[in-house]
Structure 1
Amino acid sequence: MDSTAAREAHSRELAETRAFFAERAARWDGKYPDDSPRYAAAIADTGLAAGEFVIDAGCGTGRALPLLRAAVGPAGTVLGVDLTPEMLEQAAVHRADAALVQADCTRLPLPEAVADLVFGAGLISHLPGPAEGLRELARVTRPGGRLALFHPLGRAALAARKGRPLTPDDLRAREHLFPLLAANGWTPLSYTDEPARYLVLAARS
């Protein structure tokens, strides 16, 4: 694919993702149960510490923001990034615990090596170009910093909720995701795929 076609495809994917979430933003939190305990447990497992800089990539309505704020404390920095203005509006109204920025997670308006942790809940399946997105997240993360790809449901449980089977080409499967991480700036550390938790941890290479 030439550069012009690639840009056009990227723009189409962004538009489709934005439209999908814009239409659902106002009722998003009411549709899904409060799974804050699962978020809190995942954040605890990242090793996030007081005073650190964390990016909530694809923050949506901001479910993780208060928990990330509690982990880094008043001396830390929490930045919520999302592509969809309607999602950020919900985050601003309900969870004013972070700075919020509308941006494409594959092209972040940030300098290099600033984040100690990138937390992405449900992110990997919605990146318009997973390899490009992981490279960009690596760019803004300091050497030794971490990436946490999380979902409060494991792959099988999430597929069942959506009425779909798991497919062999699922990007979130370990055999697909670990090589993708390794090729784009990350050293995979751990992989958990259980009914009530999906959590992949990686370190900035």
Structure 2
Amino acid sequence: MSDDPAHVREFFGVRAAGWDSRFPDDGPAYAAAVADLGLRPGDAVLDAGCGTGRALPPLRAAVGPTGTVLGVDLTPEMLAQVVKEGRDQDGTPVLADVARLPLRDGALDAVFGAGLVSHLADPARDLAELARVVRPGGRLALFHPIGRAALAARHGRRITDDDLRAEPRLRPLLAGSGWELTAYTDEDHRFLALAVRRTD
């Protein structure tokens, strides 16, 4: 399911204040996923759909004090939580839609997106926009702290083949948007798809 921006803002806006308390044990999973992104000191990285900014501290640790960490979200209430939790010390919160990023072409070395794909209004277009702002050879991590089957079960649903995160759907979606899928993990305790920005 993809969502229009107004629906996403409404959904997350009313949930922002209590969001972190719903998932108190996700920190190590975020840190592990950031480690797999392969960032280097001095890199510029975007947390796309950053929510309350749970990925910002491990992203900052990875790129160090000389790196750039941006957290983009279209929900003001989520960005307010970034500040409230002090995570704006690790990354700069930016109110924007990932469909129209206020960044120049090739400005970034990497993008991290937690729980992002299912909330994109137009996944092909939006993933292409992420590719636009990443240099050729740069990296993308699409992450969720639990896998597709576990997430579906949490919501009382069964896993389906039309899920955008299913590898047979995600690989061509990324390929058509300027990315090459290089690693895919879908386990109960982790979903992580890694891709590289194509040079062609």
Match of 2:115 in 1: 122
- Aligned alpha-carbon RMSD (Å): 1.1
Match of 2:165 in 1: 172
Q: In structure 2, what is the Cα distance between the partners aligned to 1:151 and 1:139?
A: 23
State the percentage of identical aligned residues. 64
Match of 1:3 in 2: none
Q: What secondary structure, in the 3-state scheme, does the structure 1 residue paired with 2:4 have?
A: helix
Asked if 1:153 is matched to 2:153, the reply is: no
| Aligned pairs for 1:10-89 within 5 A | 13-89=4-80
Q: In structure 2, what is the Cα distance between the partners aligned to 1:40 and 1:27?
A: 21
Match of 1:163 in 2: 156
How far 1:91 moved relative to its partner?
Answer: 0.6
Amino acid at match of 2:153: A
Q: In structure 2, what is the Cα distance between the partners aligned to 1:203 and 1:116?
A: 10
TM-score w.r.t. structure 1 length? 0.93
How far 1:19 moved relative to its partner?
Answer: 0.3
How far 1:34 moved relative to its partner?
Answer: 2.4
Q: In structure 1, what is the Cα distance between the partners aligned to 2:127 and 2:161?
A: 21
Q: Residue deviations 1:2-35, cap 9 Å, x none?
A: xxxxxxxx9x811111100001001101112221
Q: Which has the higher contact order (CA 8 A, sep 6+)?
A: 2
Q: What secondary structure, in the 3-state scheme, does the structure 2 residue paired with 1:25 have?
A: coil
Question: Aligned residues, how many?
Answer: 195
Q: In structure 2, what is the Cα distance between the partners aligned to 1:51 and 1:145?
A: 14
Amino acid at match of 1:179: P
Q: In structure 2, what is the Cα distance between the partners aligned to 1:18 and 1:203?
A: 29
Q: In structure 2, what is the Cα distance between the partners aligned to 1:180 and 1:52?
A: 26
Q: Residue deviations 1:152-179, cap 9 Å, x none?
A: 0000011111111112211100000000
Q: Residue deviations 1:20-68, cap 9 Å, x none?
A: 0001001101112221111111111111111100000000000000010
Unpaired stretches in structure 2, ≥5 consecutive residues: none
Q: In structure 2, what is the Cα distance between the partners aligned to 1:41 and 1:14?
A: 29
TM-score w.r.t. structure 2 length? 0.95
Moved over 3 A (4+): none
Asked if 1:107 is matched to 2:100, the reply is: yes
Amino acid at match of 1:190: A
Q: In structure 1, what is the Cα distance between the partners aligned to 2:165 and 2:24?
A: 23
